[in-house]
Amino acid sequence: ARTAAVIPAAGRGVRLGPGVPKALRALGGTPMLIHAIRAMAASRAVSLVVVVAPPDGAAEVRTLLDAHALPERTDFLVVPGGGSRQESVRLGLEALPPGYDIVLVHDAARPLVPVDTVDAVIEAVRDGAVAVVPVLPLADTVKQVESAGAPGGPERVVATPDRSLLRAVQTPQGFDRATLVRAHETVTDDVTDDASMVEQLGPTVVTVPGHEEAFKVTRPLDLVLAEAVLARRRL
């Protein structure tokens, strides 16, 4: 089965602060999105990458792709995204040509995921899982609060879930294409990852080990870490 990767890159990056859309911010002099695309194309199994660009930035992203060296054996499509990550992923899925039965969904904001993690996700889908998520154990203890208060304000703690049963979830997440498409057609709740839509639908989602370097660039400190990881790789 052929494998395609959909990269939602349409977000503004509000938590990172003002500036160009997050995916277009530079990391080691190269846009974060180009790193993320290379991370997917680094897997020999991935033969198509669908980039979901900022809604008014598809032409700019196309230009960016043409300006950077990318593997010859990989095909690239660029489509405009939507107002939510979920909508952006759906628009990417709608642009997928026939013949790709395995689909990865990977955040442009996780530019440094190692190829071994990408391959482990694909391998698990090939082995029969319909939905696969790379995960890490949590470093922090997690508290559940009664309800979300004002930002920075006090909240009442109601529970401390058993941390040994909790996982932080990364991307790429891997799917049987038909299952993921059905999930996007069926689930209308707001979600923050694709696997949770499959969970709501019913099929079993399984984990593979994630990687520390697959962290999401969300806040300014994450950029500092990403630059340091890149610098270490270039040693």
Chain residues in the site for ligand CTP (CB under 6 A): 8-15, 22-23, 52, 81-85, 88, 107-109, 216, 218
| Class of residue 2 by CB neighbours under 10 A (exposed 0-12, middle 13-18, buried 19+) | middle
Pick 11 or 172: Cβ nearer ligand CTP: 11
Q: Which does 125 bind (CB under 5 to 8 A by kind): Mg ion, ligand CTP, none?
A: none
Query: Cβ neighbours of residue 31 under 8 Å, at least 6 residues apart?
Result: 23, 24, 25, 64
Q: Which does 52 bind (CB under 5 to 8 A by kind): Mg ion, ligand CTP, none?
A: ligand CTP
Q: Which does 174 bind (CB under 5 to 8 A by kind): ligand CTP, Mg ion, none?
A: none
Min CB(36)–Mg ion separation in Å: 15
Pick 95 or 127: Cβ nearer ligand CTP: 95
Min CB(11)–Mg ion separation in Å: 5
Residue nearest to ligand CTP (CB): 11
Q: Retrieve residue 235's tokens.
A: 């040693």
User: Which residues of the chain form contacts with Mg ion (CB under 5 A)?
Assistant: 11
